[in-house]
Structure 1
Amino acid sequence: MRHDTLTQDPIERLARRRAGAKLGWYMHAGIYLLVNLLLITLSAASGRHWAVFPAVGWGIGLAVHGAMVFVLAGGSGLHERMVQAERDRLTAAQGNRS
């Protein structure tokens, strides 16, 4: 089977997009851990505990990114219900025009 045939398949495109989004989150989380371990080391070496501030701020961003990927992205129950509601609205609107 040819690669361009696979990418034309809507299920294949969706699967690749979802896998890419999850991989992006895992990379984000890994970089978060590495950078914050470095900041914690520098913070401890200086005798102050300032590293908590960037860790918390960035942690909030990481949590939002995770929610977008794992909860609100395509495939989640909420997303599927919203897509179905839009389909129903569009179908009803198209039916009213006919």
Structure 2
Amino acid sequence: MESERKKLKRARRRVEQIKSFYWHLVVYIGVNSFISISKLIRNMIDGETFTEAFLDFGTFSIWIFWGIGIFFHAVKAFSISPIFSKDWEERQIQKYIEKDKQQAEKFR
């Protein structure tokens, strides 16, 4: 019974993390869209062409830097581990078990 409660609690925590990520993503898109459009309009009022205003690094720099934060939030929320996945761990464990068996057989 206790393990079922722990599973439910863990599942609820995961759902909250994913929900938090989606809210973060909505705010990211909304705020950055507003900032980028405002910056485009301000640059065009200051005499730049649309292309010059659009290609200005400052127009989209916040997308890049905040986007890095969004990426790490997604990795945490969805338990993505591109480097050290569960499969990788299992393969490493099996590799070392086999290596130990081979070493033990040498001395028999």
TM-score range, shorter chain: 0.5 to 0.7
Structure with bigger gyration radius:
2
Q: 2:85 corresponds to which residue?
A: 78
- Structure with higher RCO (Cα < 8 A, 6+ apart): 2
With normalisation by structure 1, the TM-score equals 0.63
- 4+ residue runs of structure 1 moved beyond 6 angstroms? none
Aligned positions of 1:2-41 closer than 5 A: 9-41=5-37
Shift of 1:69: 1.4
CA distance in 2, matches of 1:67, 1:79: 15
- Indicate how the Cα distance of structure 1 residues 16 and 80 shifts in structure 2: closer, same or farther if over 3 A, else same: farther
Match of 1:63 in 2: 71
Post-superposition CA distance 1:17-70 (Å, at most 9, x none): 000000000000000000001011111111243221111000011001111111
Contact 1:36 1:51 in 2 (8 A): no
TM-score by length of 2: 0.58
Kindly provide the amino acid, as one letter, of the partner of residue 27 in structure 2. Answer: I
Q: Which runs of 5+ in 1 are unaligned?
A: 86-98
Note the aligned Cα RMSD (angstroms). 2.5
